[in-house]
Chain A
Amino acid sequence: MIRIAGWMALAALLAAPAAAQDRVIVRAEPGTPVVAAEVLIAVGPADEAEGKEGITYLTARAVTAPIVPLLDSLTAQLTVQQHKDAVSFTVIAAPDNWQEATRTLLVALFRDPVDSVATVRQRTATVAELTAREASPADALARQVDAAVFGEEHPWGRPAVGTARSVGRIAVREVDAFLRSAFTADRALVAIVGPVDRGAAQALQAFMDPGPVRRTELGPFEPAEEPVRRQYDAITAWVAAVYPFGEDADEEALRMLARLAVDHVAFGPLRPQVYDSRAEVVRHAGGGELRLEMVVPPREAEDWAERLSAAVAQYADEALSEPMFAERLRRYRGERLLELESPEARARALARQALVGGRAGTRLTELDGLTAERLHQAARSLSDPVIVFLGPFVEEDEEGGGATAAPR
């Protein structure tokens, strides 16, 4: 009976019904203590001029910095995050003031001019943060993976937040112009989760334009066909296997596949040499990527790249038996649900679904229909991965004696 109750409750993962054109997605949750509002504006690297990489992120920070004291006084929390296809603003506030907090944000985004002092301060802070980040191997791997998956000339092939150098060169007037031209109501949507009055939430429609979210069209990606090898001064090596997938891919099955695959290579008594491993499924309009990454001793990097690929391939070779699949699904179900345990995580998931797939009002997860066969077919649908190595690989080229990268 308890199990039945759980399955029935899963059906409650439906967000509020919303018309296809709705820009405000409301998930009323009477028992949740706070309200989370996720505002997405579909602007990013594809909208940035050459030499102005990172202007989206800087603009987002500069335009929200002046409202932080007011949000603090409301005990509301604001987080700004840059994705490749959109910039995200997450507001978490108490039920009695979420409207004020969210409206303050939307007014700052769409009505307020840029504050020059705030912009200069944010530019300085962003440059300092990016300088620190650029020294991190995890960040270096992400840069190399993006370049390998999308191509170095593609807007998504470079860091979504820009570089310390590019951000440092952006002028205040350029931020102001970018705010007016790119942070526009026709690119925005908001997802609200918590104990909200549906009418009050829908009132935020006034800040959005009707119709589908406007996005900048992108050219095709050019994934690297050969493994990419980049020199990095460290005592460990980073290995990534990235599987691009198309628009019709079975995303939930791929998420499960990613976790199962990384379990095969994760640290454990049989694999003490693995320092770290992680799996991620990134979705964007038109498709996405299944990303597997691990940190291993440099001399074993090649071997682990093969084992990563093999971990995925075994699910394509043969479907799991039903008992084994049930056991794996039991674990995956819990992990997947716990990913969504905070209201802001649910707001982010709904907003991303609406932005990427135009699926406002669909489920938060698709766990109920997962089967061994779906998992098998999802693995079969993947083509060869893009492999990226980062670490102290010393490959002497014949002429110069310097370290070389594999051809791309």
Chain B
Amino acid sequence: MLNLALALLSLAAAAPDTVPALPPAAAQPAVVVLRQPALPIVALRMSLLADDPPGYAGAGHLIQHLFLPRLEERMARVGGRVQAVRTSDAVVYTVVGPASELGYLAETLRSVLRAPAAGTGEMLAAAAALGQERGAEREIAPQYVRAALRAGLFPDDLPAAGTEAALARLNTAPLDGVWAAMYRPDRVSIVAVGDVEIAGVRRAFGELPAAGDAELPPLADTVRAFAADTPQATRGWFGRAWSAAEADPAALTVTARLLRNHLRRRMTRSAVDVEHWWTHHGQALALVVATPDSLVPVARRTVEGSLAALRETLDEPLVREAAGSVRREMLFFARTPERMADVLGAFADRGESADAAQRFYAAVAEVTEADVRVVLDLLLEAEPAVVYVAAQRLNPSD
């Protein structure tokens, strides 16, 4: 059973109100409902767990761009909004609107479970949007560092915006074949957060369209090496990421927060982000630092020794503080139905059970100093992916 809100784990103030995932019928999606009756609205997040077909990197996101204008137009009629995101795990659509429009919202989402029919104009617009996103990963330092680290650790996790060669294929490929390679009803899951009940959500979605049978020839994707690019940077950028597939997720999250706090206290003139990456490809701890050009040598030393230095200073009160801060930030982030659906859905997209988010939230509170030390030992033994982007000098004589 999934509790009504993560927040209530500590308070136990409300009765649970959901939703064992029913044993899936032939073409029914897995549904998780978190009832939040505060306001008569609902966020419906629908995800299709699928990689892009081999050789067609970017297909899922291209299809999203093809559908998006029509979805926006439909949602505007009920004063709602729609969001389409391609994550490493899934093709995700989220709609938010009045709970009284549940049927309409569900029908809107169901309408994307088929191959899009795109004219040349729509295809060009979608391809241009993907091209911009792809360019941003190569040209802008913060995105470049993350993309290069991800490519280093998870080579199979291709960019959501795909590759130039794949897009060229997609321009002429039969979209029904591309869609058939990605879509199966049993890969669809729904998270509903708001003033709705499980039965209503199930009824609204009903049975999903059957999978297609068109086929695609097997191909391979080729990703251009990141080292060939020169992203724009006005500061020096460091990226280090450690694969941590075996780490306990809650302990890894708390370790990321501890490392962030540790570095921010020591690098007051730098921007420091430490992130826990967690997808079906695996887990990693990623460190991204931007520092003024003059401080690059010092910052490099600090970053390189950061895990060992954290290990030296670690104690139980620091772990408790970090764990508390992670839990509160989860609540803060998830304070609207749309965001809560996103949190719950991210766990579902990794193939975890309906109560995975709740269990993770509880597990963070239980993380101890010893757990963090185990994680640090794992990271210290791992070979990190490393990226450095030098600040550009506009005037070479400077």
Contacts and interface: CB of A to CB of B under 8 A. Distances in A.
Given A3-B100, A32-B5, A346-B39, A331 B78 contact: yes
A120 interface: no
Given A75-B325, A75-B329, A337-B40, A95 B11 contact: yes
B38 A32 contact: yes
Interface string A330-373: 11111111101111101000000000000000001000000000
B24 to A, nearest CB: 22
Contact of A5 (B4, B99, B325, B335): B99
Contact of A34 (B4, B35, B100, B332): B332
Nearest to B41: A337
Interface string A63-104: 000000000011111000000000000001111110000000
Size bracket of the B interface: 35 or more
Given A13-B40, A337-B41, A341-B336, A32 B79 contact: no
B251 interface: no
B40 A92 contact: no
Contacts of B4: 30-31
A73 B324 CA distance: 10
Contacts of B327: 94
Interface residues of A, number: 46
Contact of A32 (B80, B204, B329, B335): B335
Interface in B24-71: 34-41
B157 interface: no
Contact of B332 (A9, A75, A336): A75
A211 B340 CA distance: 39
A77 B102 contact: no
Nearest to A342: B336
Given A5-B100, A9-B37, A338 B80 contact: yes
B318 interface: no
B378 interface: no
Contacts of B11: 95-96, 195
B14 A30 contact: yes
A209 interface: no
A250 B184 CA distance: 51
B324 A75 contact: yes
A331 B77 contact: yes
A220 B325 CA distance: 50
A13 B39 contact: yes
Contacts of B100: 2-3, 5-7, 9-10, 333
Interface string B363-391: 00000000000000000000000000000
A324 interface: no
A31 B5 contact: yes
Interface in B195-216: 195-197, 200, 203-204
B77 A330 contact: yes
A138 B77 CA distance: 29
Contacts of A394: none
29 contacts: A2-B102, A5-B99, A5-B197, A6-B101, A6-B102, A12-B195, A29-B36, A30-B8, A31-B4, A31-B34, A75-B324, A75-B328, A92-B332, A93-B328, A95-B11, A97-B328, A195-B7, A195-B11, A330-B77, A330-B78, A331-B77, A334-B97, A337-B39, A337-B40, A338-B97, A341-B96, A342-B336, A344-B335, A364-B39
Given A2-B203, A13-B39, A341-B337, 19 more contacts: A2-B99, A7-B100, A33-B332, A34-B331, A34-B332, A75-B332, A77-B332, A93-B328, A94-B7, A96-B11, A195-B5, A195-B14, A334-B78, A334-B98, A337-B40, A338-B96, A341-B96, A343-B335, A346-B39
Interface of A: 1-3, 5-7, 9-10, 12-13, 29-34, 73-77, 92-97, 193, 195, 327, 330-338, 340-344, 346, 364
Interface of B: 4-8, 10-11, 13-14, 34-41, 76-81, 96-103, 195-197, 200, 203-204, 321, 324-325, 327-329, 331-332, 334-338, 340
